[in-house]
Amino acid sequence: MSDLPVVGEQTPAFTAESHLGPIDLDTLKGKNVVLYFYPKDNTPGCTVEAQDFRDRYEQFQSLNTEIIGVSRDSLKTHTNFSNKHELPFPLIADPEEQLCKQFGVMKLKNMYGKQVRGIERSTFLINSQGVLVQEWRGLRVPGHADKVLEAVKEIA
């Protein structure tokens, strides 16, 4: 799968629907973008991750950085999740897994002893020129938003 984004290279453009309207990566040029993929709305780890990004949102904004979450949930579920946790950033609905496949985040995971396909929690940092500067795959939630914020400070 050599089509995956590569650190140090342009991130392939995409357009996707979020609960706040369409998002086009090309229109975000001039800003850094934190694109984070998570398994499912309203699950414990995903809720903490969203809240951690929410709680640091103003710091990211002050560094000219947008945050965008992505999961396979519907726009309706995203809207409810966002409203419940007062998330100030868009959540992309990717039920067809187009963006998930583009970034190579779909993995086989063990859940209760069964193999299931799901999103591997991953974050991608894209700079203001559209270049992928860092990626975190298979990450753990505690402390992650702080690590991403530190990485943004280094490129801001």
Catalytic positions are 46
| Distance (Å, whole) CA 61 – CA 144 | 17
Q: Tokens 């809240």 identify what position? A: 51
> Alpha carbon of 148 to those of 21, 35, 88, 95, 137: distances in Å?
25, 11, 17, 26, 12
Would you call 14 helix, strand, or coil by DSSP? coil
Cα 54 from Cα 36, distance rounded (Å): 13
Query: Which residues, 6+ apart, have CB-to-CB distance to 139 below 8 Å?
Result: 121, 122, 123
